[in-house]
Amino acid sequence: MKENTATVGFVIEGTKANKDGKYPVKLNIYYGEGKKKYGIKESVTKEEWEKLFASNLRDNDLKSLRTRLKTIETKAQGVIDSLHPFSIVAFEEAFFQRTSNSGEQHLSKLSYWFDRYINILKDHGQIGTAISYQTTINSISDFKKNLTIYDITPEFLLSYENYMTNAGKSISSVGIYLRQLRAIINQAIEHNMLSADKYPFKKYQIPAGRNIKKALPSDDLQKLLDYTSDDPHRQKAIDFWVLSYLCNGINFTDIAHLKPENIQGNYLYFIRQKTKRTKKKDLRPIKVGLNPKAIEIINRQKNTDPANPYLFPILDTGLSPVTVKHRCQRFIKWVNKHMEEIRQEKKIDMKIGTYAARHSFSTVLKRKGVPTSFIKESLGHSSELVTENYLDSFTDEVKLEYANLLTQLK
């Protein structure tokens, strides 16, 4: 555990003056190598700020402000002194009295740490990840209620793993839930609410496994590539499915976010939305060679509204992250609904939902003898960055050559 090293101070936000020329005063908490600022509903001009702490201050309004700041400082320092060890999370809970029970008992609840992180994810627009973490804490609560971070032991983890396995969860799902639980425990340790020597994942290994995905037979895939329909809904669904297949298995959320500037000549450039929201630096766009069929689909389905900046009429400007997430989910559900109708019409045995297009991309190229350094069986998993680096190493001519192989199944 770290020693209490937090101190209190005040600053003004020097670039954000209001209409009266005043700047907000912020409470600063310095701790270890970090700091956090909090609004306290006070504001001053720069001239007033320079006078505020002078020993010969005569302005009664500034004297009153100085008294209020001193009161806040005393309260903040008192909270800091009461925390052993200091934690910025515990400080915020106690100082702002966000709950009726803001002591260590509340902060030890596992649900608190999940809720806290879920709210952070939502604030950053990572709605899908927030939903995933909510699903994980719901699963844990179904297994055992009212857990604290101290209840997460190697024995608990093994018991929870067995519970999920017996309930029919796949190894992949079990791994996702446990990795998210591990991330939450890591946050509790980072904020000094759990000792590092109590880390339960030192003596417990999260099971790893891969879902075996069956490849769509070439004959069935050819049926989809040749498919046309007088029904505009089915035609639109098959167009987007085939476009995904032809464009490195691009997922449908990324399709929805494409803009005309993502296309340059015979190439499509894009950064995956799930990668864009991470803290990774030097994000390299995926570069896709567009074959004639892909270009034909883009031209047929592209947006005709000049006021809409997106390539396809799926999203609009000014949407909240939650609305964007729901739009993408409805889009995927809509495509899957009509692809199921096409599957039945063409008497295809395998399910042909949106992810089947992604998997078919890698499978077909593998069948064609394309080097495994160009493709990976599991696009979008933990090895995705490595995959993208491999793709980036090939010449443009090779990319176009491989893109054309996707429609040459015989």
Give the model confidence (pLDDT) of 202-250 as tens digits.
999 998 765 555 568 889 999 999 999 999 999 999 999 999 999 988 9
Domain 108-202 identical in fold to domain 218-405: no
What pLDDT digit, counting tens, does each position of 310-343 carry? 999 999 998 888 788 889 999 999 999 999 999 9
Quick one: pLDDT at residue 382?
A: 43
350 within 8 A of 216, measured Cβ to Cβ: yes
d(CA 180, CA 344): 38
Strand order in the sheet with 23-31: 7-12, 23-31, 34-44
Q: Which helix (H) or strand (E) holds 264?
A: strand 263-264
The b/e string for 174-204 (b: 16+ C-beta within 10 A; e otherwise) is bbbbbebbbebbebbeebbbbeeeebbbeeb
110 within 8 A of 148, measured Cβ to Cβ: yes
Q: Which residues, including other chains, have CB under 8 Å from residue 287's CB and lie 6 or more apart?
A: 267, 268, 269, 391, 392, 396, 399
At 398, the pLDDT band (50, 70, 90 cuts) reads low
Average model confidence (pLDDT) across the chain: 83
From residue 36, how far is each of 7, 76, 80, 124, 374 by CA, in Å? 11, 13, 14, 18, 45
Quick one: pLDDT at residue 215?
A: 64
At 397, the pLDDT band (50, 70, 90 cuts) reads low
In 3-state terms, what secondary structure has residue 216? coil
Residue labelled with tokens 């702490």: 53
d(CA 410, CA 393): 28
d(CA 270, CA 288): 9
Q: Which CATH architecture has domain 218-405?
A: Orthogonal Bundle (1.10)
What pLDDT digit, counting tens, does each position of 154-205 carry? 999 999 999 999 999 988 899 999 999 999 999 988 887 888 888 999 999 9
Q: How many CB atoms lie within 10 A of CB 26?
A: 16
95 within 8 A of 79, measured Cβ to Cβ: yes
- For every residue of 289-351, DSSP letters joined together read EPPHHHHHHHHHHS---TT--SSSTT--TT--HHHHHHHHHHHHHHHHHHHHHHHHHTT--S-
Q: Look at residues 210, 252, 215, 228 and name the one whose alpha carbon lies nearest to residue 352.
A: 215
29 phi, psi to nearest 5 deg: -115, 115
d(CA 71, CA 140): 42
Percent of the chain beyond pLDDT 90? Answer: 40
Kindly state the tokens that stand for 100. Answer: 């009726």
Q: Look at residues 264, 223, 221 and name the one whose alpha carbon lies nearest to residue 358.
A: 221
At 99, the pLDDT band (50, 70, 90 cuts) reads very low
Q: Residue ranges per domain, the chain?
A: 7-98, 108-202, 218-405
Q: Class assignment of domain 108-202?
A: mainly alpha
Q: Radius of gyration over alpha carbons of the chain, in Å?
A: 28
> What is the dihedral sign for C-alpha 396, 401, 404, 406?
negative
202 within 8 A of 189, measured Cβ to Cβ: no
35 phi, psi to nearest 5 deg: -155, 155
What pLDDT digit, counting tens, does each position of 270-283 carry? 988 876 655 555 56
Q: Quick check: pTM over 0.85?
A: no
d(CA 362, CA 244): 12
d(CA 371, CA 307): 43
Quick one: pLDDT at residue 216?
A: 81
At 372, the pLDDT band (50, 70, 90 cuts) reads low
